[in-house]
Structure 1
Amino acid sequence: MSLINDTVAWLIDSAQWSGGSGIPWRIAQHLGYTAITVLAASVIAVPLGLYVGHTGRWKNTAVLATGALRALPTLGLITLIVLLTSVGLAPAIIALAVLCIPPLLAGIYSGLEAVDPATVDAARAQGMTETQVITRVELPLAMPLIIGGLRSAVLQVIATATVAAFIGVGGLGRYIIDGLAVRDTPRVLGGAIIVVVLALLIDALFALCQRLAFRHASPADSHPQLKEKTA
């Protein structure tokens, strides 16, 4: 009970909610790192996922690559990048982006692959270009799975971004790393609780987005010609 009481006391202490090392600022840093990481990973995952999902090419290679990247240990990857470059935010973002690519890539190509081929053929029969097929047919229908991949990627980054504090950057990981250094268990537990709560809130937001995506009207509903062709 003493540990729980000490952790609660640490969490409600007004000193932890103000200043450059306060909880709001650390949360903002953590979310900032997550956003930068997802954007960096998207540069590779989005075009590659669209190509694989739309054409069906390189699928086996994509599956093998995503499986291999998922197996990489975050701390080991960050350490390797730091040794090859230098200490700072960039190595952490690169390492987290590498781990963020697999769920993003898998969500995109799996979503496009799951679209009914008859619907795609009907869109082409109506004279749509390949770009229009992707943007107006495949992407809307694949959106629930794409959001699912994004959801998985974001949650993974939020959970593993705490490791970034190991090389001196900010974020919620500072509470855990610094607390372990001085054996301040309430600080470690408090930091871990904040990470968990943040992850649960973000997960709930993405769950709502997925539900809305499932309810969204399909391209066939907005294009009667497609509906007739696929009927």
Structure 2
Amino acid sequence: MNLWSFLQDPASWVGPDGIGARIVEHLVYTGLSLLIATAVSVVLGVIVGHFRAGNLLVVGTSNAARAIPTLGLVVLVVTLLGTGITPVVLALTVLAIPPILNATSTGVREADPGAVHAARALGMTTWQVIWRVELPLATPLIVSGIRSATLQVVSTATVAALAASGGLGRLVVDGQRLGASGYPEMFAGAVLVAALAIVLDVALGSVVWGLRRRRSRIGRTAAELDSAPAAEATPA
């Protein structure tokens, strides 16, 4: 049986060890990790970006976290917490935080000064400025960070199989145990991980494109509000 025969075989897709179940497991690991990482990163990134506090520490820590060997981190977490979904999600979350955190802090810090000035001129409080102006303007960059983290997490989640967990990595591990007869299963796991990464990347790329168009509209509206008082003050 070759790769395409394995993928086209209905028996390969059904059951708890089938491709369908492995894709769902892979998406669960990826989704949970990105959800937790995004929640943590956005909160910290907003604080760092708006208040200009601890930027060097955050950037340094994020860059250091990117250098952590994936396999070593998984082995460490599994040793401390045992096997199962928890250590896998925890390890993937650590890997997903740096790109999202850097993108959030940068996006908030570099939000259009004109839009921020206009919001403050209208009497908005600090948190209103953050929520209504800076965060919407930073959203495209934040989603770009999530996009980068997604690619890393989807590929890294393959090692979840080493922690006695599921995901598409099980196809690689189980196929390897079968020897030469398991090559189609191994290749299928690798191909499906690549295909899943491409699909998610294209989807998030479309979201980024839409958000950038929305940001340009917000910037134009803010510029009009900022120039309105000056126009009214000019004598006829």
TM-score (norm 2): 0.90
> Hey, which bits of structure 1, 4+ residues long, moved more than 6 A?
none
- CA deviation digits over 1:184-229, x for unaligned, max 9? 2111111100010111010000110011011112155278424547
Instruction: Please name the residue that 2:205 is paired with.
Output: 207
Q: 1:218 is paired with a residue of what secondary structure?
A: helix
- CA deviation digits over 1:116-151, x for unaligned, max 9? 223212211211011111111111211111110011
Instruction: Please name the residue that 2:151 is paired with.
Output: 155
User: Where does 1:162-181 land on structure 2 (aligned, <5 Å)?
Assistant: 162-181=158-177
Percent of pairs with identical residues:
42
Instruction: Please name the residue that 2:183 is paired with.
Output: 185
CA distance in 2, matches of 1:193, 1:56: 43
Aligned residue pairs, count: 227
- 1:38 maps onto 2:34 in alignment: yes
Instruction: Please name the residue that 2:140 is paired with.
Output: 144
CA distance in 2, matches of 1:63, 1:29: 32
CA distance in 2, matches of 1:79, 1:7: 30
Match of 1:80 among 68, 76, 79: 76
Structure 2 unpaired stretches of 5+: 232-236
CA distance in 1, matches of 2:38, 2:201: 19
CA distance in 1, matches of 2:99, 2:155: 14
CA distance in 1, matches of 2:93, 2:230: 39
Instruction: Please name the residue that 1:218 is paired with.
Output: 218
TM-score (norm 1): 0.92
Check whether the contact 2:114–2:223 (CA below 8 A) recurs between aligned residues: no
Alignment CA distance shift 1:229-1:33 (3 Å): farther
Alignment CA distance shift 1:229-1:54 (3 Å): farther
CA distance in 2, matches of 1:228, 1:117: 16
AA aligned to 2:190 is A
Instruction: Please name the residue that 1:117 is paired with.
Output: 113
Structure 1 unpaired stretches of 5+: none
Check whether the contact 2:22–2:166 (CA below 8 A) recurs between aligned residues: yes
Instruction: Please name the residue that 1:197 is paired with.
Output: 195
AA aligned to 1:98 is V
**Please, what is the CA RMSD of the aligned residues?**
1.9
